Amino acid sequence: MTIRAERIQSLCDTIGRARILILGDIMLDEYLLGSVDRISPEAPVPVVEITATRLLLGGAANVAANIRALGDEPILMGTVGIDDAADKLRRLLGEKDISSEYIVTDPTRQTTIKTRIIAHSQQVVRADRENRDYLSPEVEQQVLDRLLAVVDNISAVIVSDYGKGVITKDLLERVTQLCNERNIFLAVDPKETNFHNYKNVSLVTPNHHEAGFAYGRKIVTEKDLMIVGQGLLEKLNARSILITRGGMGMSLFSRDGEPTHIPTFARQVFDVTGAGDTVIATFVSAVSAGANLAEAAVMANAGAGCTVGEIGTATVTVEQLRDELDRNIRNGNLMAAGPGNRNS
């Protein structure tokens, strides 16, 4: 199918009027930027001379930043500790006009920090400081109470599961029940080890490695892709599965129609960090604006094409999204086809 330019422009005009809840693992992303011109005499490793430091929102907080950049109102829920990283996170959220009102402070956990050392635009190493234990029943109830306070006034829910313990099985089941009772669109960015908990949701957005792992079949060929995509759709009883495939684009499987393949829009890839956050945020924002699933996938693919051209987690605005879609319309690229029929 071909998405008409007029339809895309209409959707871009409508984006930015929704209230979207983001529930998940909130993180602080730290980037140490520098250069390498020698090897350490202590070990065969490069010595990076740090010239700059950047702090960015990560995990569920980056999803919220993407929602805000598109003009929608993000309601961010998750946990942080009582530490310096939590203070920095709240400051960054404030700078993005994202409320921290619904974040639960858990004194038993540290705030997750991912530190990446980057030299000459290449990641040298990543160091994680985190607690991956599941939330205590008391803290889980505090999160649920905050969700119950707003669930009747939201357009969609995004679950951002990075496997840091916020998305417990019980909490996910309760969120799914609440969304299904109210006909609220529920999208999940999955963690492969929790994959089979994501049942009866509107959308799951695995990459091809996660999808293959979850189904027990590595995606190598188009046949593998079809079997895994359709199989996960049935196994999870989901409305749709969007498998992201890196340079090969995305493939959408849904109960509403035939499988749809969207070729990549990326011009040059510098960093895929946070690309999945942009995909799910743009998809849900588009659906909230009235897009069907195939249209939302095309828009999400364009959003990801913008952000992978930047170092670190990044966001895309409606104007950037519109420009990227315009560019692909002019180049004749704005087409979605069946995975086994790329030229149709």
Check pLDDT > 50 for residue 343. Answer: no
Q: Taking residues 100-128, what's their average pLDDT? A: 96
pLDDT given at position 5: 79
* pLDDT mean over 240-254: 93
Cα gap 46→124, rounded to integer Å: 8
State what percent of residues in the chain have pLDDT above 70: 91
| Exposed/middle/buried for residue 121 (C-beta within 10 Å: 0-12, 13-18, 19+) | exposed
Cα 184 to Cα 157: distance, rounded to the nearest angstrom: 7
How many residues can be counted in the chain?
A: 344
Q: What pLDDT score was predicted for residue 8? A: 85
Q: What is the mean pLDDT of residues 266-274?
A: 51
Higher pLDDT, 340 or 9: 9
- Measured between alpha carbons, how far apart are the two ends of the chain, in Å? 8
Which whole number is the average pLDDT over 306-331?
A: 78
Q: How many CB atoms lie within 10 A of CB 37?
A: 9
Mean pLDDT of 17-26: 98
Q: Is the pLDDT of residue 267 over 60?
A: no
Catalytic residue, chosen from 25, 106, 161, 277, is 277
Task: For residue 222, give the nearest of 256, 259, 192, 275 by alpha carbon.
Answer: 259
Please state whether the predicted TM-score (pTM) of the whole model is above 0.75: yes
Question: How confident is the prediction for the chain on average, in pLDDT?
Answer: 91
- Tokens matching residue 169: 């099985």
Q: State the average pLDDT over residues 33-61.
A: 96
Give the model's pLDDT for residue 313.
54
Confidence of residue 192 (pLDDT cuts 50, 70, 90): confident
The verdict on whether 25 is a catalytic residue reads no
Residue 312 confidence (pLDDT) above 60: no
Distance CA 12, CA 309 (A): 21
| 270 pLDDT more than 80 | no
Q: What is the pLDDT of residue 286?
A: 97
CATH 1.25.40.20 is the classification of domain 5-26+63-83+132-330: no
Q: In the predicted model, is pLDDT for residue 19 greater than 90? A: yes
Q: Worst-scoring range by mean pLDDT, 8-17, 104-113, 320-329?
A: 320-329
The answer to whether residue 339 scores a pLDDT higher than 60 is no
- What's the pLDDT score for residue 271? 43
pLDDT at 341: 45
